[in-house]
Amino acid sequence: MDFLSKRARRMTPYTAGEQPKDMRYIKLNTNENPYPPSPRIREAIAQETDRLPLYPDPDATALCAAIAAVEGLDAGCVFCGNGSDEVLSFAFCAFFDDEQPVLFPDVTYSFYPVFAGFYNIPVQTVPLNERFGIDAADYFRPAGGVIFPNPNAPTGVYLDIASIRKLLDYHKDRVVVVDEAYIAFGGRSAAPLIQDYPNLLVVRTFSKSHALAGMRIGYALGQPHLIAALLRVKNAFNSYPVDRLAAAAAAAAVADVPYYTETAGKIVATRGRFVSGLRALGFTVLPSLANFVFAAHPGVPASDLFARLRAAGILVRYFDLPRISNYLRITVGTDEDMDRLLDVLAALLQQKA
């Protein structure tokens, strides 16, 4: 006998990327940053420790102000949450209804249908084009809202700002959420469009470019009425989603622009070399502007490569999706990690030949 409600029975627990403990792996499976976070966060955390007896600021005012300063926005245009997953789930709750479907690509972040399920929001998936990209015109249909990552995950393919404007214009009575988890690795952010578009919400995370996945901080940027809607939902769940240490660390991190520009630049340079190496081994690689690449080898099933890499101490992900089968998604780590991976792949492919 179990005690699950019917609601809980309908829920499918999400298994986050593998975080194994059995041996030391080169971990290229969950798009984490291979570099440490800004050294400035140590001092910020040490100072905040003295204030831990006090509840945190429910509005995360200092963190919102720090983010707003870097973005050139008012602090009233920023909402902070406990990881961008939480911010996204609040956005589904605040902006999408159960009457009309929310649109997102057929190959995209696997959590969107889960968030929709929480709130009984119908969904409609829109196929990627033949280049595995998003075509704005495919989204010109009545809907309750739109959400997509830019660059998309797990493909890494980026959508240009002119196309995002078209989506915002067509859906001017609906909220369009642009999930910019991976924007720092070469793409242009849609955030400057916020002043022109009352229906644009940009969601970001500190987990990737800012190397703070362990802290669980994400945020949204949008006009104040959208931020007020997110605060309304947040306060209905819990008034204190951002804890003191995380808020202090993130505020120090976001202000250290030179450090993060440098580490993102290193990742972009490594990605370029890695993609050339994969192509030289015969892989098809989608053009990525993220800190991961999506690649397939015509001669070997991705599941096979995944298992052999795992046995060699390297973790990646593989996808067997209806339209995109046989792909590996590989996080870009350090040059050393990627060289090791290319050597192991070359040896595996040699054995197959």
Nearer to ligand PMP, 153 or 167 (CB): 153
Q: Are 117 and 10 in contact (CB under 8 A)?
A: yes
Task: Detail the DSSP E strand segments found in the chain.
Answer: 26-27, 78-81, 102-105, 123-126, 145-149, 176-179, 200-205, 218-221, 284-285, 292-296, 314-315, 317-319, 327-331
Contact status: 85 vs ligand PMP (CB under 6 A): yes
Bridge partner list, 78 = 221
Window contacting ligand PMP (CB under 6 A); options: 79-87, 120-128, 328-336, 340-348: 79-87
Per-residue contact track with ligand PMP, 138 to 157, x per CB under 6 A?
A: -----------x---x----
Nearer to ligand PMP, 41 or 181 (CB): 181
DSSP states along 104-121: EESSS-THHHHHHHHTT-
Contact status: 180 vs ligand PMP (CB under 6 A): no
| 327: phi then psi, degrees, rounded to nearest 5 | -105, 145
Distance separating alpha carbons of residues 329 and 342, to the nearest angstrom: 14
Contact status: 328 vs ligand PMP (CB under 6 A): no
Task: For the segment 12-31, give every residue that binds ligand PMP (CB under 6 A).
Answer: none
Per-residue contact track with ligand PMP, 194 to 233, x per CB under 6 A?
A: -----------x-x-----x----x---------------
- For residue 218, the minimal CB distance to ligand PMP (Å) is 4
Window contacting ligand PMP (CB under 6 A); options: 33-41, 83-91, 244-252, 274-282: 83-91
Contact status: 187 vs ligand PMP (CB under 6 A): no
Cα distances (Å, whole numbers) of residue 245 to 44, 81, 210, 344 = 8, 13, 15, 40
Task: For the segment 98-127, give every residue that binds ligand PMP (CB under 6 A).
Answer: 109
Nearer to ligand PMP, 211 or 345 (CB): 211
Buried b (16+ CB within 10 A) or exposed e, 41-54: beebbeebeeeeee
Distance separating alpha carbons of residues 190 and 225, to the nearest angstrom: 18
List contacts with ligand PMP (CB under 6 A): 83-85, 109, 149, 153, 179, 181, 205, 207, 213, 218
